[in-house]
Chains A and B, each alone.
Chain A
């Protein structure tokens, strides 16, 4: 007994070290298994506030660039609305008000990325909207340039999202030209490329084809830009193509995003 006690005292630093390492590794493993984690991330009030403050300082220098990019986005959206309205008008009987024919199934909540990373194996980002702005778990996040991630943990004023650059992410994506679809994953730990798997071999693919969201899940509406086909091949004897998709370049500089809220259920309730 005395010996044991002496042993413990002699190696107490080492024992403490082992103990803490076990705790740290447990956290790593637990977190890897299950995205929610038991741990508070940067969606917590404290770190969120700090990032928001720092972000304000950084963004101040870029206000003009922001204003410009927002204005051009606005212009392209207006153009789209005009064209769509004209097309709808042509399809709708003249005596019906046009507004009643437009399905309002998605709502976009504008937000700002205040903390981002792209060079880890599993990347996350934090936005400055949370429960107070009706952000919920599992909502998609898109930007002007394409899809960005999926909300994963919601705090009161901030929320953390899993970036599309995350090893557990799987998104249903389609080739815009012909509608063949597969599942999009991030395998190579390269922030500019993702892999589109399981596209049937009869699909006609060309380098440079645009890849969009398929709309088969309610996280992202159909037709959000993802990237362009850079390379494609079949893994020995498989009946499916594997496609390397090049994402948009701005993934590191992204700041303004929109959280996609799916409203279809509400609409159905209204109709009942």
Chain B
């Protein structure tokens, strides 16, 4: 049973990665003002959806590796890895903060089904904001353009969180 869940998690991660680099990346290919500042990042949901029982070390390491894979496809070398590793670390801290009174059921995953929409929204939004902000800090790589960084962060965050919550509502993953 456990093996089957792991397999499903890996397959889901691969499909999400493919959707990210083949579909979502291409959508942003427009000279429109909105798309100049916005990207849709769905793939951090892979980290968000990891089961509670996984130790922090695994999550951080996975964040780094998945970030590097996305970097290859985005030609951004290190930027995605930087942002996703930070988000993966923040996940551990966040889970402690947001821990419900009864604690987590360790065999479960942070989904709508298990934790409820309010909890999920807070958890996803804080994580994604950290991710988006650090992504643009890494990409632009100077605080001189703080305005640019913030504008891009807000637009990208808005679109990404919509897609991520859409994913939860549409597929309603239980594992």
Contacts and interface: CB of A to CB of B under 8 A. Distances in A.
A28 B37 contact: no
B79 interface: yes
Contacts of A133: none
A169 interface: no
Contact of B76 (A16, A47, A120, A252): A120
Contact of B29 (A23, A26, A40, A118): A118
B57 A24 contact: no
A40 B26 CA distance: 21
A52 B114 CA distance: 40
B85 A119 contact: no
Contacts of B79: 24, 28
Interface string A185-199: 000011110000000
For A119, A121, A124, A252, which residue has the most chain B Cβ atoms within 10 angstroms? Answer: A119
Interface in B70-85: 71-79, 81-82, 85
Contact of A42 (B35, B75, B78, B82): B75
A168 interface: no
B92 interface: yes
Nearest to A39: B77
B51 interface: no
Given A25-B82, A50-B22, A20 B60 contact: yes
A27 B139 CA distance: 12
Going nearest first, the 7 A-B pairs with the smallest beta carbon separation are: A27-B78, A24-B82, A13-B56, A28-B78, A124-B75, A17-B89, A31-B77
